[in-house]
Amino acid sequence: MRAHQTFGTTPERNNRQATERRARAGQVLNRAYDLLGKCTLFSGLSAEERAALSARARVQTYNAGEIIFSMSSAGNQMMALLSGTIRISLPLAQGKELFLAIIQPGEIFGELAVLDGHERSAEAVADSNCSVAIWERNDILSLFERNPSMWPSLVRVLVERLRRTDQNFADVALLELPIRLAKTLLRILRGKTSSAGIKDVRIRFSQRDLANMVGSSRESVNKCLRNWQRKGVLRLSEGSITITNCRALEHIADLA
């Protein structure tokens, strides 16, 4: 009797698991549809086009620290971040990197290689557990052919991305370390909180990662962070930093 019960419940359990998977997939596609409406590039699409584009997306999850694509890899997909954060950077010698951007939910990335068909020009790494909507190059190019009015939106996205990169380079070249570090932490916080008065915002970056981002040594970054910890700006713990006074951090960044 016990074996018969186990055999009888297996199809029911499989059906229930399949139903749960379909429900989760539907929720993810709905989230992709909502985010497409908020994304600058896709905001001008009709509801029908957004629904069709969402249906063509393949959703994939990544763990923190996992590489989403490497520099010089094939650029045959464009992506939109659904949840989490992603770091875009250029790998350098001796394990260092040149920080370019932090991608927040609702932003696209990987668009350059899709447009020109060349290899990836940078590396994308998940900074936290994240979900990504992925489209094949042919789907994106077909979308632009059907909707030529999207090209100005794409230009705005690319120009904004270029401005951010130029600002990052200028900061590294011209600003003192405390200002560079404060501005970098605030960029990371973008999307985590909309109010500078909110306390205890946690970011998971090692001090070596931050040193690479601001073009300095880990020792110098550690010294600066510990000074801010004594002043109550933040708290340090292994593998993460908790910002306790966003306004103080903004004040440091405004000294530029």
CATH code 1.10.10.10 region(s) in the chain:
176-253
Length of the chain: 256
As a whole number, mean pLDDT of residues 155-159 equals: 83
pLDDT tens digit string along 129-143? 999 989 999 988 888
Q: Whose structure tokens read 């069709």?
A: 52
Helix (H, G, I), strand (E, B), or coil: what is residue 87?
strand
Domain 176-253 class, CATH top level:
mainly alpha
As a whole number, mean pLDDT of residues 72-89 equals: 89
Q: pTM for the complete prediction? A: 0.71
CATH code 2.60.120.10 region(s) in the chain:
2-171
pLDDT tens digit string along 159-199? 887 887 787 777 777 789 999 999 888 888 875 554 445 56
What distance in Å separates the CA atoms of residue 168 and residue 163, rounded to the nearest whole number? 9
Of 9-13, 119-123, 164-168, 201-205, the least confident: 9-13
Contact present, 232 and 203 (Cβ < 8 Å)? no
Q: Specify the DSSP class assigned to residue 207.
A: H
pLDDT tens digit string along 199-212? 678 887 888 888 88
Mean pLDDT, the chain, integer: 81
Among 2.40.50.140, 2.40.160.10, 2.60.120.10, 3.40.640.10, name the CATH number for the domain at 2-171.
Answer: 2.60.120.10
Tokens of 160: 């904004």
DSSP 101-117: EEE-TT-EESHHHHHH-
Number of Cα atoms under 13 Å in the Cβ half of residue 50: 19
* The pLDDT of residue 195: 44
